[in-house]
Amino acid sequence: MPVYICTTCGTEHAAADAAPEVCAICADDRQYINPRGQSWTSLERLRQSHRNSFRQEEPGVLAIGTEPHFAIGQRAFLIRTSGGNILWDCLSLIDDATVTIIEALGGIDAIAISHPHYYSAMVSWSEAFGGVPIHLHGDDRQWVMRPSDRIAFWSGDRRALLPGVTAIRAGGHFAGGTVLHWADGADGKGVLFTGDILQVTPDRRHVSFMRSYPNYIPLSAPVVERIVSRVSLYAFDRVYGAFWDRVISTGAKTAVAASARRYIDAVSGDGPADAEP
């Protein structure tokens, strides 16, 4: 039976004789059904029309993206540490070239994903690397569209995945929204990989926070305060966001704190005076 992939969010669904009527992830108010209607593709078709590209962001960090643009267009990261390699976030396309490149770099020991919009083809990726575990926060269990015994749900606010690599439940965008902390990144100053739980803005000096980015639904001030309080427990100088070139290269912890203050002022009615009517 084929495994169908939603063309809007890029999420693979459980094998079935026929495609689902609708993608439940896209039907949620944080995403959207394509106005032209629900449509599907497959991994086999993607392999014919798309490829994955690679960019080294810093020693030990390889960003991976799919070209041409597909679905949401996020990038994944291969993080190579002394204790093993972890794939952060995921893509809809996995092909022989990608497997060959990553195997030459030591393979993948585990997969961890920030939130359901980036679950994409996580089961196919796991199978391509021998069935490695997929670490997801249990609060987002309902959004798994292709169940697998490779998925390891975790609970609480943090989980050590490899030595020096910690998943942190920040919440916000999704109840189980997760960021990843790598203590040895940025020359030992620490790195956060945030997906769009904390969205790096185009100026690459700030982050922002939303319940829904495409539908412009903000988060409340208390939720943003909670997100920042959880990540502030860790040392980090750099933040990698979900999309190409969305990186705060240095001073990221200060930038996150300042961004949170700016956001909270805005949603609380204490923004700049020129915003008044």
Give the pLDDT band (50/70/90) at residue 31: very high
Q: Write the pLDDT tens digit of every residue in 178-231.
A: 999 999 999 999 999 999 999 999 999 999 999 999 999 999 999 999 999 999
Measured CA to CA, the distance from residue 213 to residue 218 in angstroms comes to 8
Give the pLDDT band (50/70/90) at residue 271: low
Q: Report whether 97 contacts 50 (CB < 8 A).
A: no
Greatest extent of the chain over all pairs of C-alpha atoms, in Å = 59
The arithmetic mean of pLDDT across residues 87-93, rounded, is 98
Measured CA to CA, the distance from residue 203 to residue 115 in angstroms comes to 24
Instruction: Give me the percent of the chain exceeding a pLDDT of 90.
Output: 96
Residues 6+ apart with CB under 8 A from 166: 158, 159, 160, 180, 181, 183, 234
Domain at 5-34+52-275, CATH class? alpha beta
Measured CA to CA, the distance from residue 98 to residue 92 in angstroms comes to 12
Give the global pTM.
0.96
Residue 276 has pLDDT above 70, yes or no: no
Cross-strand partners of 165: 162, 182
From the CB of residue 132, how many other CB atoms can be counted at a distance below 10 Å?
A: 20
Give the pLDDT band (50/70/90) at residue 275: low
Entry field: residues in the chain:
277
Provide the token pair at 229: 């309080």
Average pLDDT, the chain: 96
Q: Report whether 207 contacts 199 (CB < 8 A).
A: yes
Q: Write the pLDDT tens digit of every residue in 241-267.
A: 999 999 999 999 999 999 999 999 999
Q: What is the 3-state secondary structure (H, E, C) of the chain?
A: CCCCEECCCCCECCCCCCCCCCCHHHHCCCCCCCCCCCCEECHHHHHHHCEEEEEEEECCEEEEEEECCCCCCCCEEEEEECCEEEEECCCCCCCHHHHHHHHHCCCCCEEECCCHHHCCCHHHHHHHCCCCCEEEEHHHHHHCCCCCCCEEEECCCEEEEECCEEEEECCCCCCCCEEEEECCHHHHCCEEEEECCCEECCCCCCEECEEECCCCEECCHHHHHHHHHHHCCCCCCEEEECCCCCEECCCHHHHHHHHHHHHHHHHCCCCCHHHCC
Q: Write the pLDDT tens digit of every residue in 108-139.
A: 999 999 999 999 999 999 999 999 999 999 99
- Residue-range domain boundaries for the chain: 5-34+52-275
Give the pLDDT band (50/70/90) at residue 274: low
